[in-house]
Amino acid sequence: MCRHLAYLGPPVALGEVLMAPEFSLVRQSWAPRRQRNGTVNADGFGVGWYAPGDPVPGRYRRAVPVWGDETFGELARVVRSGAFLAAVRDATESGADGEAAAAPFKAGPLLFSHNGAVLGWPGSLAPLASALPASVLLSLDARSDSALLWALIRHRAEEGDDLPQAVADTVSDVARSAPGSRLNLLVGDGKTVVATAWGDSLWYLHRPGLRTVVASEPYDDDPAWHEVPDRTLLVATVDEVLTTPLKEPPR
C-alpha cells in the first residue's frame, strides 16, 4: 500500500503541506494512522508540481525512503506551487524498476498515483492488458500493477473519455477482473483532482475558493477534514468537491 496527497490552492512551499503538519505525508511514510494494509511506506516516494504558465509538471522521484533523502528536504523548502501531487510507497512486491515504479507517474499535464494492490497480478489483468495497443504495453513506466492501471486510464482518455469517466471505468473493469483489489487512485492535471476510494481510506479538506487537499489520511486534526465513503469517485477543484458512488461490478 501507499499514502498519497494532492493539493490545489495558493502557491505554498511543498514542505508546508508535505512535511510541516503533525501527521504529514512524510511522517506517514513511517507512522501512518489509517493505513489498512502494510505499516511502513519505505519503498520510494515522489512529488510532481506545476509551475505558473507551464501545463507540464516537474517531478522528483526516488527509490529510497523519503526520510533518507536530504535533497527532498531542500527541494520542499524552496519549491512553491499551487498544485502538486505526492506519494510515499509500500511496494506490494520487490522489483528492479527502482524510481520508475514510484508515483507519481506522468503523461503530458497529468500526474497519477495508486494506493492499493491488484489481486492476482499480473495474470488477473491479462485480458485488459491484451486489449491495449502493443505500443502502450511496450512503453509502460514499470513492471507493476500501478503502471498498468495508469496505462488503462490514459488509453481511455486518449480514446475520448473525460478523465473522471476514464478513472471510474478503469476501476470497474479492474474490480471485475480482479475482485478484492484495492484501487484508491489519484489523478491531477494542475486544476482538477480525480480520486477513488476503493478498499482504503480517502479524505479531503475543502475551503471553497481557497484550497482543496485530497489525501489518503488527514495530515492534522482539523475538524474540516471529511472522510470519503468506500466505493466513491471524487472530483475536486479549488471551488468544489463532488462525490459519486461507484457500483460494485457484477461477477
Catalytic residues: 2
Q: In angstroms, rounded to a whole number, what is the distance separating the alpha carbons of residues 205 and 203?
A: 7
Residues 6+ apart with CB under 8 A from 193: 6, 8, 85, 186, 187, 212, 214, 234, 235, 236, 237
Cα angle 176, 181, 184; round to 5: 110
Q: In angstroms, rounded to a whole number, what is the distance separating the alpha carbons of residues 193 and 18?
A: 17
Q: In this structure, what are the phi and psi dihedrals at residue 142, rounded to the nearest 5 degrees?
A: -155, 170
Grid cell for residue 93: 512486491
Residue with cell 469517466: 165
Q: In angstroms, rounded to a whole number, what is the distance separating the alpha carbons of residues 119 and 175?
A: 9
Regarding beta strands 2-13 and 54-62, do their DSSP bridges make them parallel or antiparallel, or are they unpaired? Answer: unpaired
